[in-house]
Structure 1
Amino acid sequence: MKKFAMILAASGLALAACSGDNASETEPKEETVNTEEAAQESETAEETGTAEEGEGVNVDKGLFNVEVTIPPSFFEGEDPEEVAANSEAENVEEATVNEDGSITYKMSKAQHKELMAELAKSVEEAKNEITESGDFPSIQSIEASDNYDNFTVNVDREAYENSFDGFATMTLGMVGSFYQVYDGADADSFEVVIEMADAETGEVFDTITYPEALEEMGEE
């Protein structure tokens, strides 16, 4: 699954956003919570997450912590031990290399919430960079779904079709994929759909789907 190499290469930057100070944070607990029941529920949540098999990304959201397990195929060509060590150095609460080569990141709910907020911020910054940098002059605006699995790119169609501005869709595909992966999307089935629309008429004249587009580029 080399199509994820760029996504995972950027993971250190996103995980670094989770400050070590947040490791001790937990969300406020209601006064009526019974600690024994909470412990039982937490154990049940962990057992459920452990029982899941396959190559999909597993996000186990317990009562106090979140565990994100990424399959070994995402680290093709990399040393999992080194990846895990780098992640811990960047203030992830815990990074464990499992027997099958997958890596489980453990963080507080506060850390995971901050991570997802940072990823969302990265997507928004990428959108702004595309539309405001001047590097892709045919692209006028970009709309996105709440979980970044769908983008509508509004362009001057004639200018777009006579340029290389289509390369901007790769950035959207990567940051959208990255967001979904760490939010628990299935690694084998998630998609980021990018619709190219004529800004003047609203007509969608092309649709690009990631990671399928990356696979097609790899075959060329």
Structure 2
Amino acid sequence: MKKLGLMMLIALTVAVTACGSNGNNGNNEEAATESASAAAETQAASDASENAGEEVTVVFPASVTNNDVEGATTEIKEAGATNIVDNGDGSATVTISHENLDKLKEKYHTEIENAISELQSDSGEGAAIVSLDYDRDTFQSYDITVNKAAYEADDGAVGLAIFGLSMQSIMYQVYTGVEETNISVAFNLIDESTGEVFDTQTLPEAQ
């Protein structure tokens, strides 16, 4: 009987030890996973910080500067450009940090979206602009549905909207690195009553 009791005690001790070992292994594995995850997050943050400090170049084509390099690059200079080179052909090459360039892109993206929202909110009864659809990725194409009678009576409001959106959209494309030959903004004017495009304006105009 004593021998049996001793064997049971030994078995219980082994079982408890094994459970403790398994628990520790589980804790060790969890700790290792958490440590690896933290290391990955730290590395990602470090990479992001390094990328933000990296410098990139932005080309202002002659079609955008209109032979006024100093004026056309004033904004990016104030945004932290470290070097501006007049290429002598009307274009300019600008060096700026990745972080500051991202801020400029975000600024223009927000301004364009806000301008569009304002135009859409003003498209009530009697307004020349009825609705506005656009390319949300590149801001290269706008479909403006108008009350043609109101538009023809006073196209100033639509013309002003087109001018403002075109300037902002072109600069957004410059900052996002669109090639000069592909920088353009097309405005399709659509007659509300027929659904047909009766005019298309593309900017910048061909040189």
Q: Which aligned pairs between 1:1-220 and structure 2 lie closer than 5 A?
A: 28-29=46-47, 64-71=54-61, 74-76=64-66, 78=68, 80=70, 87-88=76-77, 90-98=78-86, 100=88, 102-132=91-121, 137-145=127-135, 146-164=137-155, 165-167=157-159, 168-212=161-205
Shift of 1:76: 4.9
For the residue of structure 2 that corresponds to 1:152, the secondary structure is strand
1:78-132, Cα deviation, whole Å (9 max, x unpaired)? 474x8767754x2414133356375433233232222111111121222233344
Larger radius of gyration: 2
Identify if the C-alpha distance between structure 1 residues 27 and 150 changes in structure 2 by more than 3 Å, giving closer, same or farther: farther
C-alpha distance in structure 2 between counterparts of 1:207 and 1:72, whole Å: 23
Q: What is residue 33 of structure 2 aligned with on the other side?
A: none
Shift of 1:191: 1.9
Shift of 1:149: 0.4
1:137-184, Cα deviation, whole Å (9 max, x unpaired)? 211221110200000112222222222233122222222222112222
- Identical aligned residues as a percent: 27
TM-score, length-normalised on structure 1? 0.56
Q: Which amino acid aligns with 2:150?
A: A
Identify if the C-alpha distance between structure 1 residues 28 and 147 changes in structure 2 by more than 3 Å, giving closer, same or farther: farther
Identify if the C-alpha distance between structure 1 residues 27 and 97 changes in structure 2 by more than 3 Å, giving closer, same or farther: farther
1:55-97, Cα deviation, whole Å (9 max, x unpaired)? xxxxxx99933211325675456474x8767754x24141333
Unaligned stretches of 5+ residues in structure 2: 1-43
Higher helix proportion = 2
Identify if the C-alpha distance between structure 1 residues 187 and 204 changes in structure 2 by more than 3 Å, giving closer, same or farther: same
C-alpha distance in structure 2 between counterparts of 1:86 and 1:99, whole Å: 18
Shift of 1:198: 2.9
Identify if the C-alpha distance between structure 1 residues 68 and 154 changes in structure 2 by more than 3 Å, giving closer, same or farther: same
TM-score, length-normalised on structure 2? 0.58
**Contact in 1 for aligned 2:53/2:99 (Cα 8 Å):** no
For the residue of structure 1 that corresponds to 2:144, the secondary structure is strand
Unaligned stretches of 5+ residues in structure 1: 1-25, 36-60, 216-220
Alignment size in residue pairs: 158
